[in-house]
Amino acid sequence: MLVLSKPHNIRLNAAQKSSSVNVWEVPCEFIWSTYILLPRLDSGKYLVFLQEVLPEQSTNFPAPVRCRMGFQQDGALSHYGRWYLTI
């Protein structure tokens, strides 16, 4: 049972808040377009995003820039969707 008389017992962390709008930026002053992720994003849909959407959007950059690019998804937990490593 949840006791509401102690408000400090329940705290939302930044990782618990969902965000679906991502802005892509490369340090060489190139900016990608905004891409809205699906609200119920699971590992299969995220894998499609990484394999199909992300490479398609990166074709607008010169090859030397693409070779130095990295990808980081803040707030994504590493223990979800690890099944794709066995494919």
Extended beta strands in 14-72, E state:
21-26, 30-36
pLDDT in tens, 17-28: 555 555 555 455
From CA 55, how far away is CA 78, in angstroms rounded?
21
Q: What is the pTM of this model?
A: 0.45
Cβ–Cβ < 8 Å for 65, 30:
yes
Does 37 have pLDDT greater than 60?
Answer: yes
Does 48 have pLDDT greater than 80?
Answer: yes
- Report residue 17 CA to chain centroid gap: 13
Give the pLDDT band of residue 78 (cuts 50, 70, 90): low
Q: Who has greater pLDDT, 11 or 70?
A: 70
Which whole number is the average pLDDT over 48-62?
Answer: 81
Q: What is the reported pLDDT for 10?
A: 57
